[in-house]
Structure formats: structure tokens, C-alpha cells
Amino acid sequence: MSLEYLGEEPSRRLHWVLPVIVALVVVVAALGWWSESVRATAAETLASDVSQVQSDAEAGQAKVLSTLTYAYPLIWSSQVSEKVRSSLRKVVEGSAADVVTDLAQLRDRVANTRVMPWQGDQLKDRASVLALVDAYLARFRRIAGDARQIGAVMAQSPPAAPDLARASGDESTSDR
């Protein structure tokens, strides 16, 4: 080997090593930016979904109670036939079933919120929002299954909204 050859070798290595290092740095930076973007979007979406669940549930409860108020005098009246009372209970149950349909669609949207496996706070938040939706779904499914359960269901406290990491100001850097 000549010294001339040895002198050219390191520069040839640098010609392909340096672009590879630069490309890796760019890829890592892009993945970091994308991960943060997904995290921020998930946090905003889940916070919005908590509000949406609560407003849908409140509107649904008002709808069901309004339907019950309309049908109430005849549902419990002994002056009308059982067929009429049963039909009116079905109207109340149908009103609750409509709320179930709306909440089920919202549940699907929450379940499909993109969260990366390493984003622990957002994974917990999504699970909390799903638990909230499921609790409301259980309430309205119970009424939709039997309108006579409405008193027992409404006597229970409504589910409490979860404290999400972003909503409470706990923006942990552990999942960045």
C-alpha cells in the first residue's frame, strides 16, 4: 500500500458516512416531531371528547326525561290498557336507545383516537374517556332495555369526568 492510498481512504469513508449520519439525524428529528404532533392532537381530541360525552349524555337524559314526562300520566294509569302502557314504555325505551346509538358512535371515535404505544399519559386518558362513555352507555342501555328502570338509573349519580393529563396541566415529558 502506498501512502497516497492510505491518505485517500478516510475521505472516501466520510463521503458516505456523513450523509448517512445526517439522514439518521433528520429521520430521528422527524419521528420526534411526528410523535409530539400525535401526542398533542390526542390530548386535544380526548379533552374535547370528555366535553362531548357529557353534553351528549345531558342532552340524552333531558330527551329521555322529556319523553317520560309526556308519557308518564298514562304509563302508570290504571285507566288505560296494558298494551297502551307497554307502548308508551317502548317510546321511552326508544328515546334511550337513540342516545345509546349516539354514544356508541362517540365511543368508536374515542377508541380510534391515535395514540402511540410509548405515550403513557394519552393511553391512560383514552382509557379514562372510554370508561366514561361506557358508564353512560350502561345507564342508557338499562333504560332502553326496560323503561321501568329509569327511576333507579336516575337516582344514581352520573359518572364523573376524568382528570386528563393535559386538562390538569400535567404535561409530562416522559412520553416525548
pLDDT in tens, 131-159: 999 999 999 999 998 888 888 888 888 88
161 versus 102: the higher-pLDDT residue is 102
In a domain, 64, yes or no: yes
In a domain, 169, yes or no: no
* 9, pLDDT greater than 70: no
The phi-psi region of residue 169 (left if phi > 0; otherwise alpha if psi is between -120 and 50; otherwise beta) is left
In a domain, 176, yes or no: no
In a domain, 119, yes or no: yes
Instruction: Say how many domains are in the chain.
Output: 1
Q: Residue 167: what pLDDT?
A: 41
Domain of residue 23, residue span? 3-155
- What is d(CA 95, CA 150) in angstroms, rounded to the nearest whole number? 12
Q: Residue 14: what pLDDT?
A: 61
